[in-house]
Amino acid sequence: MCRPLVRAVLLMMVPCALGRIAPASTSLLSRLALSSSPFVRSPSCSSLLLSPVSPCPLLPPALTMASSRPSSDLAAFREKLCEAKHVVAFTGAGISAESGVPTFRGDGGLWRTHDATSLATPEAFERDPSLVWEFYHYRRELVMTKRPNPAHHALVGLERWMGVRGRRCVVVTQNIDELHRTAGTEELIEVHGSLFRVRCLACGEDRDNYDSPICEALRGKGAPDPGAPEARIPEEDLPRCRRCRRLLRPAVLWFGEMMDERIMQSVLREIDSCDLCLVVGTSSLVYPAALFAPQAARRGAVVAEFNLEETPATESFQFHFHGPCGETLPPALTMT
């Protein structure tokens, strides 16, 4: 059974890899502890750690009592949307992929010969900061050339439509590319940070950085081709803190690191108060974000998934719209 494992994953405490971030309280975490949850299986058994998960074949009883598969009835969904007072949209890599941002998942998901998850860790950065900075420099420079797509704009349109009626639409994204910001989303929670923020390993300063390149030594580096040579940049030439001149790291949440409790609390407040939830372009396979929409469904919110494929959570949702979210989301959200 999964229940003991879920409890262990959610409630065990570990030292925080980011520093200055308080571990989440057990009362906070217990609110996400779904009985027999298939959505959380973290091999590290650590609270609020970012980690890929493998779905368990057992579904929570509360989420498997539906008599039919999720509906794809657009008119029925729009009726629910018109009635909604508080919408939360959870977005993942799929929405950015339609803007040309690599997902680094599945077939062809390597950078050079590296699995991206092997570079997105504190251990990788400690071992080879030059290589990790090459990877993130490549991603920063690439994202600077990308633009929001119709799915991003549809969410902005919904936020504005609801806002003038005294309602709310909040976007909670796993993406670190800031395309929601560029599109104009105002109520935004970036649970994994941003490519365009940096944090000092010494003094802890956390700030925006849109420099291109982020440092001169990285200019022209980071090519994704498997045969590209490693730059092997000396640490003193990598991005440095403006305040204390020590080494900077990307201010993103890496695998094995804890999510900031303040961010988790913000997400939980939205889950607790929303009456409709959108799941857009996410695989529901990365913890803890994989818990969010199922928790909303469990407490009775209408949940609609817009995705290229079904996910481990699909059966627990009321609606599922198959296809590119840039095609399925605009007609679903455009309000007249």
21 and 136 in a single domain? The answer is no
The H or E element spanning position 88 is strand 86-91
Its domain, for residue 15, covers: 3-96+148-191+257-333
**Residue 82: exposure state from Cβ atoms within 10 A (0-12, 13-18, ≥19):** exposed
> How far is residue 94's CA from residue 145's CA, in Å, rounded to a whole number?
18
Task: Report how far Cα 242 is from the mean position of its chain's Cα atoms.
Answer: 28
Domain count for the chain, please give it.
Answer: 2
Lowest mean pLDDT across 42-46, 302-306, 316-320: 42-46
Query: Cβ contacts of residue 240 below 8 Å, gap of 6+?
Result: 215, 246, 247, 248
Same domain, 169 and 247: no
Domain boundary among 183, 218, 252: 252
Per-residue model confidence as pLDDT tens digits over 91-104: 999 999 999 999 88
**Which residues are bridge partners to 276 per DSSP?**
87, 302
Average pLDDT over residues 206-223: 98
Residue from 325, 280, 51 nearest 173 by CA: 280
Give the single-character DSSP code of 69.
P
43 and 58 share a domain?
Answer: yes
Residue 46 confidence (pLDDT): 38
281 token code pair: 């372009």
Domain termination site, one of 252, 277, 294? 252
Considering the domain architecture, whether residues 90 and 41 belong to the same structural domain is answered as yes
> Does the bond joining 288 to the residue before it have cis omega, within 30 degrees of 0?
yes
Q: Do 163 and 134 share a structural domain?
A: no
Q: Are 216 and 281 contained in the same domain?
A: no
At 290 the pLDDT is 87
Per-residue pLDDT, averaged over 144-149, amounts to 98
- If asked whether residues 169 and 137 sit together in one domain, one would say no
Taking only the tens place, the pLDDT of each residue in 308-332 is: 999 889 999 999 999 999 999 999 9
Residues 121 and 263 both lie in one domain: no
Looking at residues 147-172, what average pLDDT do you find? 98
Selected residue with higher pLDDT from 9 and 326: 326
114 pLDDT above the threshold of 80: yes
Query: Mean pLDDT lowest for which of 1-15, 73-87, 168-182, 194-208?
Result: 1-15
Q: Please, which residues bridge with residue 168 across strands? A: 86
- Sequence-distant (6+) residues with CB within 8 A of 293 are 90, 277, 279, 284, 303, 305, 313, 317
Closest CA to 325 of 127, 90, 22: 90
pLDDT tier at 51, thresholds 50, 70, 90: low
Write down the catalytic residue from 137, 152, 180, 192: 192
Question: 296 and 203 in one domain?
Answer: no
Band of pLDDT at residue 277, cut at 50, 70 and 90: very high
Residue 207 has pLDDT above 50, yes or no: yes
Whole-structure pTM value? 0.84
Residues with Cβ within 8 Å of 300's Cβ and at least 6 positions away in sequence, in order, are none
Residue 39 DSSP symbol: S
Residue 5 banded pLDDT, cuts 50, 70, 90:
very low
- 192 in active site: yes
For residue 100, what are its two tokens? 């040309």
Dist CA 281 CA 72 (whole Å): 16
User: How is residue 260 annotated by DSSP?
Assistant: P
210 shares a domain with 136: yes
| Range in 51-55, 247-251, 257-261 with the lowest mean pLDDT | 51-55
Residues 214 and 185 in one domain: no
| Rounded CA separation 169/217 (Å) | 42
238 lies in the same domain as 317: no
Statement: residue 133 has pLDDT above 70? yes
pLDDT digits (tens, 9 = 90+) for 180-193: 999 999 999 999 99
Q: What are the beta bridge partners of residue 279?
A: 90, 305
Measured CA distances, 177 to 103, 140, 186, 255, 266 (Å): 11, 8, 15, 17, 20
